[in-house]
Each structure stands twice: as structure tokens, then as C-alpha cells.
């Protein structure tokens, strides 16, 4: 058994191959995995080892800066949507204990006259690290492109036009979030590195984390450890896609557990890319996913309205 513990592995090169049989097989395998567990491992996603390594180097350098310097990048009024969020500010829905992590947010780059630019705060430049923002932007745009291709496959699986999501995610409110889980120094009182939760967005693309800890809840109610193999990323369904597909595709509960005591002294780094649509995208259940056996489960809502509700629930927005 590989260390993804039977989470299906798919090869994005099959989807992009120009070969109809390989493309169709990819769509079918991906769709079935998202119906059954909500997570897959993906090969040939376009993020090179070199870019991944450079990003991890920059991220570690940022989190190694002094608390005083980092605090300059925690900007009031942004609800944590850009720049730095300090230790323990965010918690899982339904919990009051802050998660044992600090993080940074890179957001969307709107470089034309799309009026959506007015909706987004500017990205925050880290003056102490000249390459930090450049490398973050390159990784952001690479993962956004991989996510676009994954959503094209999902659209085909759902019986939609292949490009259904393209205009809806163009300049979407996506976030690249480097996270630092610092060494654990005291017995944690009820806090874990990240409590059980589901992601808010359409899909999440997770670069291999620097240590174990990610666990996924399977259909039997057991948490199963997941570690991306070399050259793979993990891509999972978020609540927006579950809602849009009227529960056809599953947004799986997952968590990051504290390591065994002998590894408490080690930091853990993780860099998920949360792929969001534009705020005006309707998350109304698709007609293709509603029938007599599966009536409509959710009220109509836009992505922006839904995001604001959820940010309030996890403590990032008042």
C-alpha cells in the first residue's frame, strides 16, 4: 500500500493528453473518487519540485522572522484575507479553541481592467524577503491553472460543458495559504494543529506537507492518515462544490493531528491552495444533480454570501 492509504491517484497528463480514451478514463476515475471519498492524489499537476522547494524556503524564512516583524504584516480590517495571521486566531467551525498555527495569505492577481479588482485587497509585500512575493505568485498561478483543469474534468463528469467553471473562477477569490505549525512546547489543552473541518471553497490543492499529520474521515467513520507522495499533490472537494452538486460530490472532513510526543519539537509546514470562484457565482444546486431520489438539499446562495457566513463561523470575520 502506498502512503496515500488507498486514496485514488490520478494522472492529470491523461486528461490533457489529447487522447479521448485516456481523458474519459481520467474523468470517470476522478468523479468516482469525489463521490466516494472526496480526495485524490494528482500526478503531473505542473508544479515543479524546484518551484515547490523555493516556496518552502521562502515560507520558512518568513516564519523565522521575529514576532515584531511578522506583526507588521498582520493588517487590521482585512479579516485575514491577505498577509499574516498570528498564532491561534482561527478555529474550526463549532470550536472555540484556536488552532496551533500561524499563516500567510496570497490572494488573486488582477492585472487587467476586470472590475472585480475593487473587491480584493492588494497582496502584502514582505520587504525583508525580496523573493517571497515573486515565488508566492508563481506558485499561486501554477496551482490555479492545475485547479482549472481539475474543474474541467469535474464539469464533464457532471454532464456540464467542459468550460463551465472557467468564467466562474476567472479572477476568483482564491487563496494560497502557507501555514506554520510551530513546535509544541506544552501539553495542548484541547487544541490540535487543525481541528476536524471541511474546506469552504470549490476544491483545495495541497502541496506535500513537510511532516505527517493530515487525516481524512472515511465512510466507516475512521480517520485515515494521508501524506502526498513525491511529485503528487492532494486535491479535495470543498463545501461550495458539495453544495453546487447537491451532495453528489463529497466535501470530506479532515484534520491535522498533533505528532507523537517525540516529534513535538519539530515545526510542520503546509501550503494549501483554496480555489474559490468569483463572489457572484451562484452555488444553487445544479439541475443535473437533482432528481426524485436526491431532492434539492440547499437554499440558493452566491459564493460571496456563503464565504462571508463561513468566515464568521471560524472567527476570521466579525
Instruction: Kindly indicate the confidence band of residue 95, based on its pLDDT and cuts at 50, 70 and 90.
Output: very low
What's the confidence (pLDDT) of residue 165? 98
What's the confidence (pLDDT) of residue 235? 93
Q: Is 159 left (phi over 0), alpha (psi -120 to 50) or beta?
A: left
* CATH fold label, 9-313: Jelly Rolls (2.60.120)
For range 112-135, the mean pLDDT: 96
Which of 226, 123, 239 has the alpha carbon at shortest distance from 176? 123
Is 197 in contact with 286 (CB distance < 8 Å)? no
Could you tell me the sign of the dihedral formed by the alpha carbons of 178, 139, 309, 148, in that order?
Answer: negative
**Angstrom distance (rounded) from CA 40 to CA 4:** 9
Which of 273, 268, 242, 276 has the alpha carbon at shortest distance from 46? 273
Q: Tens of pLDDT along 241-270?
A: 999 999 999 998 888 787 778 878 888 888
Q: What is the pTM of this model?
A: 0.90
DSSP SS3 for 150: helix
For range 235-246, the mean pLDDT: 96
DSSP SS3 for 261: helix
- 98: pLDDT strictly greater than 50: no
**Angstrom distance (rounded) from CA 267 to CA 183:** 5
State the average pLDDT for the chain: 88
The grid coordinates of residue 21 equal 480514451
Q: Tens of pLDDT along 134-153?
A: 999 999 999 999 999 999 99
**Least confident range of 61-75, 189-203, 234-248, 274-288:** 189-203
Instruction: Kindly indicate the confidence band of residue 43, based on its pLDDT and cuts at 50, 70 and 90.
Output: very high
**Strand 39-43 to 232-237 pairing:** antiparallel
- 101: pLDDT strictly greater than 50: yes
Q: Write 22-28 long-range contacts (CB < 8 A, 24+).
A: 26/153, 27/153, 27/156, 27/157, 28/157
What's the confidence (pLDDT) of residue 216? 86
What's the confidence (pLDDT) of residue 225? 85
Terminus-to-terminus CA distance in the chain, angstroms?
Answer: 45
What's the confidence (pLDDT) of residue 188? 66
What's the confidence (pLDDT) of residue 318? 56
DSSP SS3 for 196: strand
Q: Tens of pLDDT along 163-219?
A: 999 999 999 999 999 999 888 777 766 556 667 888 999 999 998 755 577 888 877
Q: How far is CA 106 from CA 86, 120, 152, in A?
A: 15, 11, 24
What's the confidence (pLDDT) of residue 229? 75
**Angstrom distance (rounded) from CA 89 to CA 52:** 27
Amino acid at each position: 500500500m502506498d502512503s496515500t492509504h488507498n486514496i485514488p491517484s490520478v494522472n492529470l497528463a491523461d486528461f490533457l493528453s489529447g487522447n479521448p480514451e485516456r481523458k474519459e478514463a481520467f474523468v470517470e476515475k476522478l468523479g468516482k473518487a469525489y463521490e466516494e471519498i472526496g480526495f485524490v492524489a494528482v500526478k503531473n499537476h505542473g508544479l515543479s519540485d524546484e518551484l515547490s522547494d523555493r516556496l518552502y524556503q521562502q515560507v520558512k524564512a518568513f516564519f523565522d522572522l521575529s514576532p515584531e516583524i511578522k506583526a507588521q504584516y498582520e493588517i487590521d480590517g482585512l479579516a485575514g484575507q491577505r498577509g499574516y495571521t498570528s498564532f491561534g486566531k482561527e478555529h474550526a467551525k463549532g470550536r472555540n479553541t484556536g488552532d496551533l498555527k500561524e499563516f500567510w495569505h496570497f490572494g488573486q492577481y488582477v492585472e487587467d481592467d476586470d472590475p472585480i479588482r475593487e473587491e480584493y485587497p492588494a497582496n502584502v509585500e514582505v520587504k525583508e524577503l525580496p523573493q517571497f512575493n515573486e515565488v508566492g505568485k508563481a506558485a499561486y498561478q501554477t496551482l490555479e491553472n492545475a485547479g482549472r483543469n481539475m474543474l474541467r474534468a469535474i464539469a464533464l463528469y457532471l454532464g456540464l460543458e467542459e468550460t463551465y467553471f472557467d468564467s466562474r473562477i476567472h479572477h476568483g477569490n482564491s487563496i494560497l495559504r502557507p501555514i506554520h505549525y510551530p513546535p509544541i512546547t506544552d501539553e495542548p489543552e484541547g487544541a490540535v494543529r487543525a481541528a476536524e473541518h471541511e474546506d469552504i471553497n470549490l476544491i483545495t490543492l495541497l502541496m506535500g506537507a513537510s511532516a505527517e499529520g493530515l487525516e481524512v474521515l472515511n465512510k466507516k467513520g475512521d480517520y485515515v492518515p494521508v501524506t502526498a507522495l513525491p511529485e503528487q499533490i492532494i486535491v479535495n472537494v470543498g463545501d461550495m462544490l458539495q453544495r453546487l452538486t447537491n451532495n453528489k460530490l463529497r466535501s470530506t472532513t479532515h484534520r491535522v493531528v498533533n505528532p507523537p510526543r517525540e516529534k513535538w519539537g519539530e515545526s510542520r509546514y503546509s501550503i494549501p491552495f483554496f480555489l474559490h470562484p468569483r463572489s457572484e457565482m451562484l452555488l444553487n444546486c445544479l439541475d443535473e444533480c437533482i432528481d426524485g431520489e436526491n431532492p434539492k438539499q440547499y437554499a440558493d446562495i452566491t459564493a460571496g454570501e456563503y464565504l462571508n457566513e463561513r468566515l464568521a463561523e471560524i472567527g476570521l470575520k466579525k
